[in-house]
Chain A
Amino acid sequence: MTAAVTTEHREHYLALVGHGDEAAAVDYALGLAECGVSPRDLVLDLIGPTQRRIGDLWARDEWSVAQEHAATHVSEQVVAALAARHRPRPDRGVVVVACVDGEWHALPARLFAEVIRWDGWDVRFLGASVPGPHLVSYLHRHGPDVVAVSCSVPTRLTSAHRVIQAVQDVGVPVLAGGGGFGPGARWGTKLGADRVAADGRAALEVLRSWPLRAVAEVSPLRDSFVSDDEHVLVVKRGAQLVAVAMDRLADRFPAVHGYTAAQREATEYDLGQIVEFLCAGLFVDDVELFRAFVSWLCVVLASRRVPPETVDLVLDVYHDELFDFPRARAHLVAGRRQVPAGRQVAA
């Protein structure tokens, strides 16, 4: 007997995790499992979508960051409970699942790890932010068939690139997945991953149909995929860009002068984020990355009553400052087009 996850199930589950009601959420999920919903569907159709929904609720300022974290914690416990109940004997190869260095969002990787475990793989989940040396040493010791690298935030793509190369240098093929690799995980392909998967179901298929060998297919000499070093140079200028943008914001919005130290820090953090996403976009040489980030940022700020002009102003400042960075300017121009129309600062 099998059953599918419905919208009602998701709504109910969202309410439970929203209240941080761990016991009820666990019981609810286990109850659905007993009613014939496969644990795989619970993860892919209930917990996964709910987590994305929670991120959205935070972005729209409907949930506090503490509530978001408490809900995520509950989902972690739910997955742990499901995993404890369903432990099939592995009859496929060994897959190491690791979040890239600096990636602390472990839940998406954990969900993936459990789903492929239920598909018969012998899964070693190394958790959040796995340092490169630790991962390489683990691979030497255990010689897995595949390393699945998870990246949820595009700003960790440079880390992801290092990890992918390090793993391939050890002769182990890499499967890249997670929201950080972009639509259809296409930046995973760009960074040289042997395979990519846009979502959990795709990953299951990729792994099943992958003829795994001891000898990696990748050549040791890799070409750089961008023609210049803009992504590196802009990182170096990050602090300076933030400082200039801060001054210009204060000129334009006098209220900034009255900011508390904490408010100032928070603003600087946001300005720094913009630089980081810009650099990530330059790194994979795809304006879509920065464009998507600016759209998201405008939603986040609008729900917190920050006028979109501020975003436009900052992008304009960066555009001026980076006058000798043609690619960065193209990304910034593309980003500015995402700022809600009619609200832009007159040049």
Chain B
Amino acid sequence: MSEEISTMRSQHPTVCDPVVAVSLAGSDTVPRPAPTSGNGTVDGFSRQPWAELLDGSEEMVFAVDRDGLVRVANAAAARHLGLTAGQAVAATPLATVLQGPPGSFDADLDDRRLRGRSVPLGEWTAWYVRDVTDQTFRIDALLAERWRSAFLAEAGRRLGSSLNRARAARTTALLAVPALADCAVVVLADQRELVWHRADVDAEDRAESTGSLARWRLEPDSALDQALAGLTVQDDPRLGEQIRPLLADGFGAVGSATVLPLPGHGAPVGALILARHAGRAPFEAVEVHLVRQYAARAGAAISAAALYAAQADAAELVQRSLEPPELPQVPGVALGAAYRPAWEPLRIGGDFYDVQAGPDGDWMFVLGDVCGKGIEAALQSGNLRQSLRALWLAESRPLRLLDQLNRATLTTGDPTLATLVVGSLTTGPAGDVTLTLATGGHPPPLLLRAAGEVAPVELAGTAIGLVPAAPLGETRVVLAPGDTLVLYTDGVTEARGRAADRPFFGAERFATELGAYRAAPAAVIAERIAQLVADWTGDRLHDDVAVLVIQARPGPATPDRATREDV
């Protein structure tokens, strides 16, 4: 301590004292008037105490004159900066800073971070320097940690937004560059094939590429093989050569690399390869931790996508089997159909229709509505359709068909309750079409005569799936050329409007609207009905809508017309 005090004493008090005193007053911000009297007053009471006061500060305080010589230096400045009064500051980078213009600076001295500022002090310049090494380190660490958290949060969000496996893999590779590495390869493990997605740092942004390799070509105990078995490989000198085939041609020397598993449900779903150029710093411990967390998120996203794909595949198979069938080409007859399920995710419902060639050269058709909604009703309608398709091979009389279908339904423990119209169709020589219709509890079809009126077909019966000897109705209708029969489900007439009292679409309105479409093609009529109902309800359908339109072609059917439509 005494040594430093003597350092202070060796200065030139006449010049510095009053100014330093003022400066001190300024620096601790206590508002007190600057001494205006002569030097002696300040000199008299304060030299010794303020010199010691400065020595007690952890801040390095010193003053340099115009020639660069240190004139005053407190204990901390002498200890940490090696300053001695009367000598020039020699050590860089401090010397460089002091030669520059006054102001603030940050400089590294050995392994310390110094932060200083200067204040003009008459002929001298006073410097106040603090050691901010710990503070800076804490802030840097905090920023780095914050960056890592933000990176992981963003990665989690982006990876979680897609349930598509290939997209999740591509995203995993893309997000990793350049944040984690200069090249990232995601390898997806399948039974036979390893599909990889690679992202490289590109001149403009990032470049993507993809490819695959047969699984049997994977070298046993190679880094990739180990990662796919759940092991992380890092800092292996042979790593660069092992992953070389998966890197871009122009990647150059591999500086550092790591190959780690993408954890899945049970076994890894794949591996993540990260490679850095030779110039870039190797993976630090904290980065290894980050990379593992990243791989965990990526693995979770990819395996969730794989799980979703498996379930969605199953759902799609079910959906496809339940979708309304394509209508066949029936000579002399124009067919049209529309289908609007109320249940949206799979676009299937309990309403159904079907048209198929019958056993005796005529055509069979059905339109019906299974009680209930959603996937369950859709599955039941699928069963009914299958049963009918089988029955159609042997039986063409609609009433008997319906009776057999009813009995078949009742053999199951949980019979399907449904209303439907089943019919057969034969074309006559004059372009007329004879329809035989049987119904079980279904709204009667509407008949649009080319001549004029729109009227329901007289047809009644009870729903199937209730009692074995159900009373079912049958009737016969002959369509002259241009006549149209419209079969529909109650989703049409019982659609509720958007007006305040939620009125039904109703049979009357339906008949009136149909009247305007008498001359239109069957497909247009069907589509138009569905559209009218959708417009009527405004936003959402509350019940499925199915429409099947059978029209005797106006005028004789020409053969070339039939063949053209097959194209």
Q: Answer yes or no: A214 CB below 8 A from chain B CBs.
A: yes
Alpha-carbon separation in the docked complex, A239 to B170 (Å): 49
Please name all residues of chain A whose beta carbon is closer than 8 Å to the beta carbon of B163 when the two chains form the complex: 140, 170
B481 → A minimal CB distance (Å): 15
Q: Is the CB–CB distance between B516 and A20 below 8 Å?
A: no
Number of interface residues of B (CB under 8 A): 45
* Stretch binding the partner chain, chosen from A66-74, A117-125, A174-182: A66-74
Alpha-carbon separation in the docked complex, A27 to B565 (Å): 11
Alpha-carbon separation in the docked complex, A64 to B519 (Å): 12
- Given A73-B524, A140-B305, is A65 in contact with B164 using a C-beta cutoff of 8 Å? no
Among A171-224, those with CB < 8 Å from B are: 171-172, 213-216, 220
Q: Is the CB–CB distance between B561 and A23 below 8 Å?
A: yes
Q: Which of A23, A64, A85, A216 contacts B516 (CB 8 A)?
A: A64
- Given A64-B516, A65-B516, A69-B528, is A140 in contact with B499 using a C-beta cutoff of 8 Å? no
* Stretch binding the partner chain, chosen from B344-352, B384-392, B443-451: B344-352
Q: Is the CB–CB distance between B162 and A140 below 8 Å?
A: yes
Q: What size tier do the contact residues of chain A reach? A: 35 or more
Q: Is the CB–CB distance between A26 and B564 below 8 Å?
A: yes
- Given A141-B312, A239-B500, A268-B499, is A66 in contact with B171 using a C-beta cutoff of 8 Å? no
Please name all residues of chain A whose beta carbon is closer than 8 Å to the beta carbon of B498 when the two chains form the complex: 272
Q: Is the CB–CB distance between B174 and A215 below 8 Å?
A: yes
* Stretch binding the partner chain, chosen from A1-9, A130-138, A296-304, A329-337: A130-138
The secondary-structure label for the interface of chain A is helix
A-B contact count (CB 8 A): 101
Please name all residues of chain B whose beta carbon is closer than 8 Å to the beta carbon of A239 when the two chains form the complex: 499-500
With CB as the reference atom, state the residue of chain B lying closest to A269.
B535
Q: Answer yes or no: A347 CB below 8 A from chain B CBs.
A: no
A337 → B minimal CB distance (Å): 29
Please name all residues of chain A whose beta carbon is closer than 8 Å to the beta carbon of B165 when the two chains form the complex: 143
Q: Is the CB–CB distance between A66 and B158 below 8 Å?
A: no
Alpha-carbon separation in the docked complex, A20 to B347 (Å): 31
Q: Answer yes or no: A81 CB below 8 A from chain B CBs.
A: yes
Q: Is the CB–CB distance between A66 and B517 below 8 Å?
A: yes
Alpha-carbon separation in the docked complex, A47 to B157 (Å): 44
- Given A141-B312, A141-B316, is A134 in contact with B305 using a C-beta cutoff of 8 Å? no
Q: Is the CB–CB distance between A140 and B523 below 8 Å?
A: no
Q: Which of A23, A69, A102 contacts B520 (CB 8 A)?
A: A69
Please name all residues of chain B whose beta carbon is closer than 8 Å to the beta carbon of A26 when the two chains form the complex: 564
Alpha-carbon separation in the docked complex, A104 to B340 (Å): 11
What residues of chain A have their CB less than 8 Å away from a CB belonging to chain B?
20, 22-23, 26-27, 64-66, 69-70, 72-73, 81, 84-85, 102, 104, 129, 131-134, 137, 139-143, 169-172, 213-216, 220, 239, 262, 268, 272
16 cross-chain CB contacts under 8 A: A23-B564, A66-B517, A66-B528, A73-B521, A81-B567, A102-B534, A104-B531, A132-B344, A137-B312, A140-B308, A141-B316, A170-B161, A171-B161, A214-B208, A215-B170, A215-B171
What residues of chain B have their CB less than 8 Å away from a CB belonging to chain A?
157-158, 161-167, 170-171, 174-175, 206, 208, 305, 308-309, 312-313, 316, 344-347, 498-500, 509, 512, 516-517, 519-521, 523-524, 527-528, 531, 534, 539, 561, 564, 567
